[in-house]
Amino acid sequence: MKPINLKKLAQELDLSVATVSRALNDRYDISQATKDRVRALANKLNYEPNPYASSLRRQKSKTIGVVIPEVANHFFSLAINGIEEVARSNNYHVLIYLTHEDYQRELAMARLLASGRVDGLLVSVASESADFAHLEFLRERGIPIVFFDRVYDEMPTAKVTTDDFESGYKATRHLLEAGCRHILHLAVSQNLSIGRRRMEGYVQALADAGRPYEESLVLLARETKQQDVIQIQQLLEAHPEVDGIFASVESQAMSSYEACRNLGRSIPGDIKIIGFSNLEIAALLDPPLTTITQPAYSIGKEAAKILFLAISKNRVISPTQSLVLKSELVVRASTLPAPQAARPAYTLT
Amino acid sequence: MKPINLKKLAQELDLSVATVSRALNDRYDISQATKDRVRALANKLNYEPNPYASSLRRQKSKTIGVVIPEVANHFFSLAINGIEEVARSNNYHVLIYLTHEDYQRELAMARLLASGRVDGLLVSVASESADFAHLEFLRERGIPIVFFDRVYDEMPTAKVTTDDFESGYKATRHLLEAGCRHILHLAVSQNLSIGRRRMEGYVQALADAGRPYEESLVLLARETKQQDVIQIQQLLEAHPEVDGIFASVESQAMSSYEACRNLGRSIPGDIKIIGFSNLEIAALLDPPLTTITQPAYSIGKEAAKILFLAISKNRVISPTQSLVLKSELVVRASTLPAPQAARPAYTLT
DNA sequence: TTGTAAGCGTTATCAA
DNA sequence: TTGATAACGCTTACAA
């Protein structure tokens, strides 16, 4: 069954297509009587306007795009929740694109979005991406872009991030205060500014504590989780002095748990671990994981709000609209300082 | 800067719009020479066709919709991964709609999708939904629908599910074999066939073991996680005989852990727990959680494949294309039978 | 092999 | 207050 269109409604009502269109759009120049008649029939026949005809004519897609590295990740799925919420309340639709951290895919997606498919874009860039001409191109085409979390610093637009330097600093200082002397940093790609900032926080905290920064104690994520685990194990064996791990990526904290388990190192007895994470169940891990938790839902929501402000006002987004939200340090047993408390009773909070 | 369109290309090349269009679509009736000329300029100017004009004319949106209850849930985010993979390889775009288990939202979304916005739909219905007229309506409008996991049984289309009866049975029998006598079932809404099937498996396993089915030992999920925890605690206090929990919903297993912890019940000493879950870190929980794990990525992928078969062949989907994939029982410490092994050494696998 | 023109369904402009 | 008509950018008969 073909969908109803304006023409059919118009025929049925013995009105012109234009009048029907205006009635449905509640224009001032149509009489209440006809509006009522038109709406009644439209409802009865379940008329729904063809979005593409409308988009073509209005040059508005009523759609935004969300480009993220990954969706099977609590941070991004919470962010999507926030984004979807705002989009829905603006009667917008959401197209999802996953880059899987692959620059080529990000490039291909940018191409596809260049011709009006979306009215705006929320982007968290792939860690592989070093060149951003594809995003510049979209901006030149007039598509507003708001970055969140993994931002492309140089573009003069709004970015919603967290206090990554402070978080890296806090995390490292927390480990130092818990008695760690040799802290392994499982870092985010240094292509990304969040990676560099967290790293800077780490380095600064070490310096402030009079501890040396050792390049050999920094690892980047590999392709697969299994490779991460192996990589961490090898480093822990080569550097038995390591007594703390700061994971800047959620999955790396989990890999660290596995590596420690495989090597028979106790947490937090032998090694203390802190990780960036949005997993609700961090508290249920063995041992409960101390986390830096980002306000992922809010990040998505605020980024979307900024985007819709630009879309609705038809204005360029200014970098001054950028937002830096605060992450939270949630201390749990994986960084417990006292050796005698290495295995807290299960019934403790 | 306005995007380039066919007209501009045509002017520049001194060709007609039609010829340019045909050249770009690689039609047989255009000479290689012009094809080359056209493509060269299109590339140079970064021409990208307007998708909505094309959709309008071809009556094809090159877009599918995914309607799911929630994205911040490992099962669904893995399924999306599978879906996105297949969509991308078919050069399709993916619109995401989250119902948050709310029937009204599902209804509103169905309306929006009724007029050609998508060429097909992948749906996992909200647990609140009892009436499915909105989905029937979409089908009548000629939009192919494939259900996955949370299916609407009565519609004659393909459904991709897992062996829910068997899984419910296996989970319950596993608890019984581990020595449980009174098993609490944290069930999925009985509106949903997966809810009913898992329940039937639970009931059958009890019957086969000569155990009675007690209605009071079945709970449904509440609005919030906190409510779930409280509800479970209350039941455990009212029914101190409960020594096993079968959670048909991932989050309910976590709530059970919290409830047990709050009440000082040891797992698996006092209470053994098994849960449907796609969390990779089930093994890192305290204690590691025994799970029924669904092949979420494959479910998404297979459902999408069926949908694209229908879209590309322009054929109706037959219920006979339905697929039932197998879930896996992964035994871990949360259901360890022997009391002396209630707290396995940390270094054990 | 290429051009002309119609049409997809909607909205905007102008006239009545 | 309503109607006729053009236009959004693309594809496709049909003509040349």
Distance in Å, residue B34 CA to nucleotide C3 C1': 14
Across A221-246, average pLDDT: 96
> Quick check: is A287 in a domain?
yes
Q: Is B329 helix (H, G, I), strand (E, B) or coil?
A: strand
Q: How far apart are CA B133 and CA B136, in angstroms?
A: 5
Q: Are residues B176 and B272 in the same domain?
A: yes
Q: Which two tokens stand for residue A111?
A: 């191409």
For B82-126, how does the pLDDT look when each residue is reduced to its tens digit (9 = 90+)?
999 999 999 999 999 999 999 999 999 999 999 999 999 999 999
- Evaluate the CA torsion angle A63, A68, A73, A79 in order and state its sign: negative
- Is residue A204 scored above 80 in pLDDT? yes
> Quick check: is A1 in a domain?
no
- Please tell me the predicted confidence (pLDDT) of residue B128: 80
Q: Are residues A121 and A137 in the same domain?
A: yes
Nearest to B185 by CA among B167, B204, B168, B164: B168
For A7-34, how does the pLDDT look when each residue is reduced to its tens digit (9 = 90+)?
999 999 999 999 999 999 999 989 999 9
CATH for B246: 3.40.50.2300
> Quick check: is B1 in a domain?
no
Distance in Å, residue B183 CA to nucleotide D4 C1': 73
Q: Are residues A262 and A313 in the same domain?
A: no
- Is residue A338 scored above 90 in pLDDT? no
Q: Are residues A223 and A335 in the same domain?
A: yes
Q: How far apart are CA B310 and CA B47, in angstroms?
A: 31
**Do A114 and A137 meet the contact criterion of CB atoms below 8 Å apart?**
yes
Q: What's the pLDDT band for B2 if we cut at 50, 70, 90? A: confident
Q: B222: how many CB neighbours lie within 10 A of its CB?
A: 15
Q: Are residues A243 and A190 in the same domain?
A: yes
Q: Please state the domain count of chain A.
A: 3
Q: Are residues A82 and A112 in the same domain?
A: yes
- Please tell me the predicted confidence (pLDDT) of residue B348: 32
Q: Which two tokens stand for residue B336?
A: 């360890």
Q: Strand B244-247 relative to strand A63-68: parallel, antiparallel, unpaired?
A: unpaired
Contact A84 B78 (CB under 8 A): no
Across B250-271, average pLDDT: 96
Q: What is the pTM of this model?
A: 0.93
Q: Are residues A144 and A191 in the same domain?
A: no
Q: What's the pLDDT band for B129 if we cut at 50, 70, 90? A: confident
The residue with tokens 């089908």 is B139
> Quick check: is A106 in a domain?
yes
∠B116-A313-A301 over CA atoms, to 5°? 70
Q: Report the chain A residue with the minimal C-alpha distance to residue B282.
A: A285
Distance from CA of B10 to the nearest CA of A (A): 17
Nearest to A295 by CA among A112, A174, A161: A161
- Is residue B345 scored above 70 in pLDDT? no
Q: Are residues A248 and A210 in the same domain?
A: yes
Strand C, CB < 7 A, residues 31-60 of A: 49-50, 53-54, 56-58
> Quick check: is A108 in a domain?
yes
**Do B43 and B54 meet the contact criterion of CB atoms below 8 Å apart?**
no
**Do A307 and A120 meet the contact criterion of CB atoms below 8 Å apart?**
yes
**Do A286 and B286 meet the contact criterion of CB atoms below 8 Å apart?**
yes
Q: Which residues of A are less than 8 Å from B300 in CB distance?
A: none
Q: How far apart are CA B241 and CA B108, in angstroms?
A: 45
Q: B127: how many CB neighbours lie within 10 A of its CB?
A: 22
- Spell A97-126 as b/e; 16+ CB within 10 A means b: bbbbbebebbbebbebbbbbbbbbbbbbbb
Chain C nucleotides with an atom closer than 7 Å to a protein C-beta: 1-5, 7-13
Structural domain boundaries, residue B300: 61-161+296-325
Q: Is the minimum distance from the CB of B19 to strand C below 7 Å?
A: yes
Among the partner residues B56, B287, B346, nearest to A266 by beta-carbon distance: B346
**Do A121 and A65 meet the contact criterion of CB atoms below 8 Å apart?**
yes
- Is residue B341 scored above 50 in pLDDT? no
CATH for B52: 1.10.260.40
Q: Are residues A248 and A343 in the same domain?
A: yes
- Is residue B340 scored above 60 in pLDDT? no
- Please tell me the predicted confidence (pLDDT) of residue B314: 86
Q: Are residues A203 and A344 in the same domain?
A: yes
- Please tell me the predicted confidence (pLDDT) of residue B326: 98
- Please tell me the predicted confidence (pLDDT) of residue B305: 98
CA torsion A208-A209-A214-A218 (nearest 10°) is: -80
The residue with tokens 């009736």 is B29
Nearest to A286 by CA among B53, B331, B231, B289: B289
Q: Which residues of A are less than 8 Å from B52 in CB distance?
A: 52-53, 55-56, 61, 116-117
For residues A182 and A127, the model is more confident at A182
pLDDT-wise least confident of A345-349, B163-167, B321-325:
A345-349
Q: Is B245 helix (H, G, I), strand (E, B) or coil?
A: strand
Q: Which residues of B are less than 8 Å from A116 in CB distance?
A: 3, 50-52
Q: Strand A244-247 relative to strand A183-187: parallel, antiparallel, unpaired?
A: parallel
**Do B278 and B86 meet the contact criterion of CB atoms below 8 Å apart?**
no
Q: How is B190-233 classified by DSSP, letter by letter?
A: TTSHHHHHHHHHHHHHHHHTTPPP-GGGEEE--SSHHHHHHHHH
DSSP 8-state assignment for residue A120:
E
- Is residue A341 scored above 60 in pLDDT? no
Contact B93 A117 (CB under 8 A): yes
Among the three residues A57, A75, A94, which one is the final residue of a domain in this structure?
A57
Q: Are residues A232 and A341 in the same domain?
A: yes
Q: Alpha helix (H) ranges present in chain B?
A: 6-13, 17-24, 32-44, 51-58, 74-89, 103-112, 133-140, 164-177, 193-208, 225-238, 250-263, 296-313
Side-chain-side CA neighbours of A214 within 13 Å: the count stands at 11
Is B262 exposed, middle or buried (CB count within 10 Å of its CB: 0-12, 13-18, 19+)?
A: middle
> Quick check: is A218 in a domain?
yes
- Please tell me the predicted confidence (pLDDT) of residue B339: 54
> Quick check: is B309 in a domain?
yes
Among the three residues B23, B40, B57, which one is the final residue of a domain in this structure?
B57
Is B238 exposed, middle or buried (CB count within 10 Å of its CB: 0-12, 13-18, 19+)?
A: exposed
For B228-242, how does the pLDDT look when each residue is reduced to its tens digit (9 = 90+)?
999 999 999 999 999
For A131-168, how does the pLDDT look when each residue is reduced to its tens digit (9 = 90+)?
899 999 999 889 999 999 999 999 999 999 999 999 99
Q: Report the chain A residue with the minimal C-alpha distance to residue B63.
A: A95
- Please tell me the predicted confidence (pLDDT) of residue A339: 54
For B142-162, how does the pLDDT look when each residue is reduced to its tens digit (9 = 90+)?
999 999 999 999 999 999 999
Task: Please name the amino acid found at residue A232.
Answer: I
Q: Are residues B150 and B66 in the same domain?
A: yes
Contact B254 A142 (CB under 8 A): no
> Quick check: is B86 in a domain?
yes
- Please tell me the predicted confidence (pLDDT) of residue A274: 98
Nearest to A208 by CA among A163, A165, A262: A165
- Evaluate the CA torsion angle A283, A186, A79, B125 in order and state its sign: negative
